Amino acid sequence: MDLQTLAADDLLRHAQQAMNDSRWSEAHRGFLQALSHSPQRPQLHHNLALCALAMGQPQAALASAQIALQLMPSLWQSRLVVGHALAALKKPEAADDAYASVLQWQAGHGEAILARADLAMNVFGCPVQAAAWVQPLLSHPQHAQDAQLTLLMASVYDRDITAHALSQSVMKFSGQHLRLPCETLAATARPRLERRAGPSGLRPRVALISPHFSASPVYFLTIAGWRHVAAGSDIVVFNRGHQRDWATEQFKALAHEWIDVQALPAEALAQRIHAADIDVLYDLGGWMDPVALKALSCKPANKMYKWVGGQSLTTGLRTFDGWIGDAWQSPKRFQHLYTETLVNIPGGYATYTPPPYMPSVPLHKDSTPVIFSNPAKLSRSFLAWLARLPGRKRFVHHQFRFERTRARVLQVLDAQSVEFICPSSHREALDILGRHEWMIDTFPYSSGLTAREAVAMGMKVKVFAGELFCERHSLHLQKN
């Protein structure tokens, strides 16, 4: 259909339908053309902002939403888009202010509350605050599911229930909310794609799916394995994220196919994976990407395994053929905490690959203990334990640049015994980390990648261990 030939009203209806169907690029083009007929209509600018946001263009989304608000300050929905765009642009304090302004216009607005809770937990490091904010939404017909998920994820960091109770809650949640209908893939048969031949026969198709194909634990803990797998298999990457950096290029170099699926809802994602004729799929998103977990609930690949990435505790799904761990992280005696069959790798479930900018280890070390961890992992029980430890403590993380993040620590610890350091890059953080002799790990959620980095920098790690996978990340380091 030639959008140029459509009358203004037809053009707008076509764009609106495209947006309803999540055909974001087509909708964006339609609204742009409609804007040429009515440049002062705030709703058109708002719709453009929604499309740009879905397409991973937060700066454009912010600009369009701000124009909509200039034209119509009461269009509070655009304030919500402003918040989402600012969050994507890594301006969380401004984003939080935007969500707060939405709540001034619409008290109790579920999406704004959930967005503030997400920032509280994942940026400002306040999971207990996040849990408190979403409590009123547990009975909301539209937002109860997201509120329940927020509570479960907050409980991974800081909770008053047992590991078994939390695992059971996750299994129940997955059973109720992360299941696609069994007929999702029934309408189309799995295609048999032409395979490339290798020295020992046809090459298997191995898929990776994650929102974090970047300088993240997904890279540092798995890239060595994928380089080995790529020698004898065709790697198919289903990219669920928008971030691109030097590590993204490393994944792209290994990929036989790179498929961007950021905007696909669960059912369409499942169908896209199914159409790719995958032999083995590795989920590297886990609880960082519940939409992908829902897509995997109908098993769109022949074999599926859960590995690094959002691997805090069981997915609650029964379609995975295995959960890749090791004797430290997921000993077989804890099988009751998982719906997935535990597949333990001798010697360790992951291999650490240092970044190309890894600093050298200094000869002389500072004896001040360092806590180098996502502030969300600073549970109430951990901070209480730390308050009883005499001497000075040094907290290192870029998120401590936020006053509210520091304030949560200073509610428990004496300000005179605490120092905050906010590195501006991963390289700077590693350099700071390496200057110290000791790192104190957190509990119940322990350090994963960070603990491995600490050991690589010649440090000793004070280790704690619980039962969940995420509570045992540094257990294999206790010999140090």
Mean pLDDT of the chain: 94
Orientation of helix 24-37 relative to helix 42-54, angle to 10°: 160
3-state secondary structure of 461: strand
Most confident residue range from 15-29, 289-303, 356-370: 289-303
Q: What is the pLDDT of residue 182?
A: 80
Pairing of strands 418-421, 234-239: unpaired
Angle at CA 446, nearest 5°, toward 445 and 452? 155
What is the C-alpha to C-alpha distance for residues 111 and 102, in angstroms, rounded to an integer?
A: 10
Q: What is the pLDDT of residue 5?
A: 46
Q: What is the pLDDT of residue 222?
A: 98
Q: What is the dihedral of CA 297, 147, 113, 372, to 10 degrees?
A: -80
Q: What is the pLDDT of residue 397?
A: 97
What is the C-alpha to C-alpha distance for residues 383 and 126, in angstroms, rounded to an integer?
A: 13
CATH of domain 199-344: 3.40.50.11380
Of residues 471 and 242, more confidently modeled: 471
What is the C-alpha to C-alpha distance for residues 76 and 258, in angstroms, rounded to an integer?
A: 38
- Range 186-209 average pLDDT: 79
What is the C-alpha to C-alpha distance for residues 376 and 383, in angstroms, rounded to an integer?
A: 11
pLDDT at 479 over 60: no
| HSE-CB for 54 with a 13 A CA cutoff | 20
With 0-12 / 13-18 / 19 or more C-beta atoms within 10 angstroms meaning exposed / middle / buried, residue 446 is: buried
Q: What is the DSSP string of 364-397?
A: S-B-S-EE-S-GGG--HHHHHHHHTS-S-EEEE-
For the chain, give the percent of residues with pLDDT over 70.
97
Q: Which CATH class is domain 1-107?
A: mainly alpha
Question: In the structure encoding, which two tokens stand for residue 259, read together?
Answer: 């498929």
| HSE-CB for 22 with a 13 A CA cutoff | 10
Closest CA to 256 of 230, 275, 225: 230
Same fold, 199-344 and 370-477: yes
pLDDT in tens, 265-289: 999 999 999 999 999 999 999 999 9
Rounded alpha-carbon distances, angstroms, from residue 268 to 264, 292, 305, 318: 6, 10, 20, 20
Report, in this order, helix, strand and coil percent for the chain, each rounded to 5.
50, 10, 40
Q: What is the pLDDT of residue 480?
A: 42
CB 195 within 8 A of CB 205: yes
pLDDT in tens, 113-156: 999 999 999 999 999 999 999 999 999 999 999 999 999 999 99
Question: In the structure encoding, which two tokens stand for residue 42, read together?
Answer: 């705030």
The 460-462 sheet, strands edge to edge: 418-421, 393-396, 370-371, 438-440, 460-462
pLDDT at 381 over 80: yes
pLDDT at 377 over 60: yes
Rounded alpha-carbon distances, angstroms, from residue 470 to 309, 383, 406, 447: 11, 18, 24, 8
pLDDT in tens, 12-54: 889 999 999 889 999 999 999 999 888 999 999 999 999 999 9
Q: Give the pLDDT band of residue 188 (cuts 50, 70, 90).
A: low
Say how many residues make up the chain: 480
pLDDT at 187 over 70: no
CB 352 within 8 A of CB 415: no
What is the C-alpha to C-alpha distance for residues 442 and 32, in angstroms, rounded to an integer?
A: 50
Distance of CA 390 to the CA centre of its chain: 35
pLDDT in tens, 87-111: 999 999 999 999 999 999 999 999 9
Residues 6+ apart with CB under 8 A from 55: 24, 25, 28, 263
- The superfamily CATH assigns to domain 370-477 is Glycogen Phosphorylase B; (3.40.50.2000)
Distance of CA 395 to the CA centre of its chain: 23
In angstroms and rounded to an integer, the radius of gyration of the C-alpha atoms of the chain is 24
Q: Give the pLDDT band of residue 200 (cuts 50, 70, 90).
A: low
Is the preceding omega at residue 73 within 30 degrees of 0, hence cis? no
Q: Give the pLDDT band of residue 189 (cuts 50, 70, 90).
A: low
pLDDT at 454 over 50: yes
Domain spans of the chain, in order of start: 1-107, 199-344, 370-477
